[in-house]
Structure 1
Amino acid sequence: MKILVTGSSGFVGKRVLDMAAAKGWDCLAQVRKAATKNAIIEEVTVPVINAATDWSHALTGVECIVHCAARVHQMQESEAEALVAYNEVNTLGTLQLARQAAALGVKRFVFLSSIKVNGEYTDVGSPFTAQVSQPPSDPYGTSKYDAEIGLTQIAQETGLDVVIIRPPLVYGPGVKANFQSMLCWVKKGIPLPLGAINNKRSLVFIDNLVDLILTAAVHNNAVNGTFLVSDGHDVSTTELLNAVAVAMDKSSRLLPIPMAWIQLAAKLVGKPQIAQRLCGSLQVDISETQKKLNWTPPVSFAVGIKTTVDSFVGNSCD
Structure 2
Amino acid sequence: MQIAVFGSSGFIGKNLVKSLQHNNEVQEISLRNPFWKNDIGPKTEVFINLIGKAHDHKGTATEQDYHFANVELTQQTFEIFKRSDAKLYIHISSLAALEEFESSRPLAETDKCNPISLYGKSKREAEKWLLKEYLATNKKLIIIRPPMVHGSGDKGNLGLLYKIISKGIPYPLAAFNNERSFISIDNFNFYIQQIIQKSNYLENGIYHISDDESVATNEIIDIIKRVENIRILNINLPKSMIKGLARIGDFVPIPLNTKKLKKLTNNLLVSNQKIKTLLEIDKLPFTAQQGIEKTIKSFKK
Once residues 114 and 217 of structure 2 are traced to their aligned partners in structure 1, the CA distance between those partners, rounded to angstroms, is 27
Question: In the TM superposition, what whole-angstrom CA distance separates every residue of 1:48-87 from its partner, at most 9, and x where no partner exists?
Answer: 58xxx86254242110011112122226566xx6221111
Once residues 165 and 146 of structure 2 are traced to their aligned partners in structure 1, the CA distance between those partners, rounded to angstroms, is 25
Match of 2:206 among 221, 226, 246: 226
Structure 1 gaps, min length 5? 32-45
Moved more, 271-280 or 181-190: 271-280
Once residues 278 and 137 of structure 2 are traced to their aligned partners in structure 1, the CA distance between those partners, rounded to angstroms, is 24
Alpha-carbon spacing, 1:90–1:159, altered in 2? closer, same or farther (3 Å): farther
Alpha-carbon spacing, 1:74–1:272, altered in 2? closer, same or farther (3 Å): closer
Q: Secondary structure at the match of 1:189?
A: coil
Once residues 144 and 224 of structure 2 are traced to their aligned partners in structure 1, the CA distance between those partners, rounded to angstroms, is 27
Deviation at 1:250, TM superposition (A): 2.0
Q: Does 1:289 align with 2:271?
A: no
Q: Secondary structure at the match of 1:278?
A: helix
Contact 2:100 2:116 in 1 (8 A): no
Question: In the TM superposition, what whole-angstrom CA distance separates every residue of 1:83-120 from its partner, at most 9, and x where no partner exists?
Answer: 21111121111111111111111110001110000111
Counterparts of 1:83-232 in structure 2 under 5 Å? 83-124=63-104, 126-156=105-135, 160-219=139-198, 220-232=200-212
Alpha-carbon spacing, 1:185–1:274, altered in 2? closer, same or farther (3 Å): same
Question: In the TM superposition, what whole-angstrom CA distance separates every residue of 1:126-170 from its partner, at most 9, and x where no partner exists?
Answer: 222112413523211121111111222225467531111111111
Instruction: State the Cα RMSD in Å.
Output: 2.2
Match of 2:226 among 242, 246, 250: 246
Q: Which residue of 2 aligns with 1:305?
A: 292
Q: Secondary structure at the match of 1:202?
A: strand
Please give the TM-score of this superposition, normalised by the length of structure 2.
Answer: 0.89
Q: Which residue of 1 aligns with 2:7?
A: 7
Deviation at 1:248, TM superposition (A): 2.3
| Percent of matched pairs sharing the same residue | 26
Match of 1:65 among 39, 47, 51: 47
Question: In the TM superposition, what whole-angstrom CA distance separates every residue of 1:216-264 from its partner, at most 9, and x where no partner exists?
Answer: 1231123413211221111221111112211222224311234344224
Q: Which residue of 1 aligns with 2:236?
A: 256
Contact 2:211 2:288 in 1 (8 A): yes
Alpha-carbon spacing, 1:285–1:252, altered in 2? closer, same or farther (3 Å): farther
